[in-house]
C-alpha cells in the first residue's frame, strides 16, 4: 500500500473523530479542530498518513516541549501519535515517524516525546526503542510533573516516560 504523508486537511477531523468514536474512545473533535487551527497558525505541525485515499494515522509536532524534562529547552516534541487500529502493524507508524524526524531535522538535531506506560502503548514503546529513542533518566511523569518515589498516581494517558533521539 502506498503511504503518503501530508499536512492535516479539514476533512481529517471528522474522519479521525468518527474512527475514535467507533473504538469507544470518546469524542475527540474539539482536540482535532484545535490541532487543525494550530497548524494554520504555525504553532503545531500535523502530519497525516494517507493510503488509498484514506487518512489512517497522524501525529503532531510542537516546536518546543511544553512540559516534562525537555520543557523550555528548544527541543521539538512529538505529541499525540495515532494509527487507526485496523492499519497498525503495516509500517504506517514507522512512516509517520520517518516523516516527523525528517521535518524536525531540517531545523533541530534532537527530538523528544512522552510515551504512556499502560499496555495500549506497548507497540509504541517498542517502536521508539527500535528507532533509537532513549529515556532521559528523569523517571516517570504524571499530569505534567515529575513523580516522586512512592507517590500515588493513576495509570492513565498522563503517566509517561520521556525519551529523546539525536537526529
5 forms bridges with which residues in the sheet? 49
- What confidence score (pLDDT) does residue 68 get? 96
- What confidence score (pLDDT) does residue 45 get? 98
Ranges of the chain whose pLDDT falls below 70: none
- What confidence score (pLDDT) does residue 154 get? 95
Q: Record the pTM.
A: 0.94
Residues 105-123: pLDDT tens digits? 999 999 999 999 999 999 9
Could you list the beta-strand ranges (E) of the chain: 4-7, 45-51, 54-62, 77-83, 110-116, 134-142, 145-146, 159-166
Closest CA to 111 of 131, 125, 92: 131
Residues 4-31: pLDDT tens digits? 999 999 999 999 999 999 999 999 999 9
Domain regions of the chain by residue span: 4-166
Q: How far apart are the C-alpha atoms of 20 and 84, rounded to whole Å? A: 8
Question: CATH number for the 4-166 domain, one of 3.10.580.10, 3.40.1190.20, 3.30.565.10, 3.40.630.30?
Answer: 3.40.630.30
- What confidence score (pLDDT) does residue 1 get? 80
58 forms bridges with which residues in the sheet? 48, 82
Amino acid at each position: 500500500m502506498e503511504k503518503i504523508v501530508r499536512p492535516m486537511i479539514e476533512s481529517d477531523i471528522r474522519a479521525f473523530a468518527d474512527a475514535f468514536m467507533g473504538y469507544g474512545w470518546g469524542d475527540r473533535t474539539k482536540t482535532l479542530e484545535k490541532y487543525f487551527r494550530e497548524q494554520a497558525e504555525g504553532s503545531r505541525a500535523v502530519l497525516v498518513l494517507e493510503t488509498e485515499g484514506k487518512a489512517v494515522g497522524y501525529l503532531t509536532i510542537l516546536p518546543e516541549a511544553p512540559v516534562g524534562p525537555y520543557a523550555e529547552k528548544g527541543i521539538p516534541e512529538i505529541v499525540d501519535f495515532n494509527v487507526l487500529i485496523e492499519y497498525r502493524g503495516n509500517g504506517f507508524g514507522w512512516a509517520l515517524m520517518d516523516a516527523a524526524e525528517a521535518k524536525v531535522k531540517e531545523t533541530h538535531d534532537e527530538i523528544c516525546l512522552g510515551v504512556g506506560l499502560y499496555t495500549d502503548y506497548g507497540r509504541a514503546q517498542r517502536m521508539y526503542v527500535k528507532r533509537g529513542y532513549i529515556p532521559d533518566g528523569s523517571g516517570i511523569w504524571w499530569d505534567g510533573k515529575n513523580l516522586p518515589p512512592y507517590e500515588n498516581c493513576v495509570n492513565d494517558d498522563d503517566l509517561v516516560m520521556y525519551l529523546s533521539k539525536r537526529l
